[in-house]
Homo-oligomer: A and B are copies of this chain.
Amino acid sequence: MANREEIAKWLQDLQKHICSELEKADSGALFTVEEWQRPEGGGGISRVIQNGNVLEKGGVNFSAVHGATPAFLSTEKEHTLSPSGRAGEGLFYATGVSIVLHPKSPMMPIIHMNIRYFEMSNGVHWLGGGIDLTPHYINEADATFFHQSLKQVCDKHNPNYYTDYKKWADDYFFIKHRNETRGIGGIFFDRLNESLQMSFTQNLAFWKDVGMAFAPIYTELISRNKNTAFTEKETEWQLIRRSRYAEFNLVYDKGTKFGLETNGRIESILMSLPPLAAWHYNYNPKANSAEAKTLSLLKKGIEWVN
């Protein structure tokens, strides 16, 4: 296994670093800090920003929880068999940083990142993570910049990772009942341990680079878009896109499900939900509008990088 205390310490430092970079970019609000304990073991530190110049609501959360393996994980036999061979007896440990930022401007994208380390008392352990971007209005130059940045991180470690994890993100960040992706995707990976090509240590280095990529990517997107003017009509569309975001997180997101089922701190789990969101009945944007163009690009398999 990896040294989990070292990983948890690195994640806490990453959390502080990201918050500090975001505060500089926002130049308005500061993150509040709350530490919490989980009755069954472990806890976390929630850092939340609200009503900033750029960020209307955002959370950068660290957690490290442990205890008896929850029932919904026990059903995945291959990962939870305890030494005695019966499922559900083992202990788990999970630590990670989760971020969701809802900007005030509809011209600025919502962003999400999560990186996590997981281990079971039977010795099984793995890394997971992902970053994805949800523009209210898709700007192709920003989309290419975003994917190019992720591809650089991936390519530094493994020539297949960008292609594989970009596809995984398309499949994961998908709102099935709307038949649309949450946004323009990004990268997603899970159960990463070691392979013929990559040791666990090499994958850990890749995983840390994903975490370190977050602040430069989003602060660049802030500086590109913070002075773009917008109208009430564009804010209305933003509220509709945010309601889709809430649908994804409440219906499909595995991190949210994991949090709810392991009795995590509810306000930290649901900090990902938007400050304000709208559900109109049967809303369809006008043909050839900017809104319709964005909708047309919310699908799997679009290549943003040549």
Binding site for B on A (CB under 8 A): 34, 48, 50, 57, 59, 176-178, 239, 243, 246-247, 250-251, 260, 266-267, 269-271, 273-282
Contact = CB atoms under 8 A, between A and B. Distances in A.
A48 B283 CA distance: 13
Given A250-B250, A260-B177, A275 B279 contact: yes
A105 to B, nearest CB: 18
A201 to B, nearest CB: 37
Given A177-B260, A260-B177, A266-B178, A281 B57 contact: yes
B278 A275 contact: yes
Nearest to A284: B267
A250 B246 contact: yes
A48 B243 CA distance: 19
A253 B50 CA distance: 30
Nearest to A249: B250
A100 to B, nearest CB: 11
Given A247-B250, A250-B251, A266-B178, A275 B280 contact: yes
Given A246-B246, A260-B177, A266-B178, A276 B278 contact: yes
Contacts of A271: 281
A34 B251 CA distance: 26
Contacts of A243: 273, 277
Contacts of A276: 239, 276-279
A274 B34 CA distance: 30
Contact of A282 (B48, B177, B250, B281): B48
Contacts of A50: 280-281
Contacts of A280: 50, 275
Contacts of A176: 260
B260 A282 contact: no
A244 to B, nearest CB: 10
A93 to B, nearest CB: 22
A53 B223 CA distance: 43
Contacts of A270: 177, 247, 279
Nearest to A59: B281
13 contacts: A48-B282, A57-B281, A177-B266, A239-B276, A243-B273, A247-B250, A247-B270, A250-B251, A267-B282, A270-B279, A274-B279, A275-B279, A277-B277
